[in-house]
Amino acid sequence: MPDDGPRSSLRVFFDVDDTLITWDGRLRPHAHDVFGALRSRNAELFLWSGTGRRWGVAHAYDLAEFVTECFAKPLSRHHERLAEHGVPFVPDFVVDDDADVVAAFGGTHVPAPLEPLEDDRELLRVISDFELRFRLGDST
């Protein structure tokens, strides 16, 4: 995959099932806060899923304004199968309940949400992980 040259934004890919939404389709707490925080840190946000492009989830939960594009996600041989899934670049940071995907690209592993859902704070770790990974805020 060719390098696409200098760019100013970091590409963050969120898994959907058991990462952003529960098994029965409820949005995980703090999703809007985290998406907004990442966008304000100049990240470009993408959703990807082993079941295909999930614009329906983005629209259902008013997340579409934060999301640049949705992709299908390779479930194995993650790097080498990006192109065949139509993903045109390598994620800089991923958020996923599948530890293999996080191991492949780096990012935050989140366990599937537990009940009571309103107490779930796992997504909030994404902001500090993202800042640490890219050493944001060093100058302060």
48 vs 50: CA distance, rounded Å: 7
Least separation in angstroms between residue 6's CB and Mg ion is 32
Of residues 15 and 92, the one with the C-beta less far from Mg ion: 15
Q: Are 28 and 22 in contact (CB under 8 A)?
A: yes
State whether the Cα torsion 107-109-113-116 is positive or negative: negative
Specify the DSSP element, H or E, that contains 55: helix 55-60
Give the total residue count for the chain: 140
Chain residues 6-25 in contact with Mg ion, contact rule CB under 5 A = 15, 17-19
Chain residues 28-47 in contact with Mg ion, contact rule CB under 5 A = none
Least separation in angstroms between residue 121's CB and Mg ion is 18
Of residues 38 and 95, the one with the C-beta less far from Mg ion: 95
Read off the amino acid at residue 73: K
132 vs 108: CA distance, rounded Å: 11
Least separation in angstroms between residue 20's CB and Mg ion is 9
Of residues 48 and 130, the one with the C-beta less far from Mg ion: 48
Cα–Cα distances in Å, from 115 out to 14, 16, 26, 60, 99? 21, 18, 12, 22, 21
Of residues 19 and 108, the one with the C-beta less far from Mg ion: 19
Least separation in angstroms between residue 102's CB and Mg ion is 11
Chain residues 73-112 in contact with Mg ion, contact rule CB under 5 A = 97
Of residues 4 and 115, the one with the C-beta less far from Mg ion: 115
Q: Does 122 bind Mg ion (CB under 5 A)?
A: no
The residue ranges that bind Mg ion (CB under 5 A) are 15, 17-19, 97
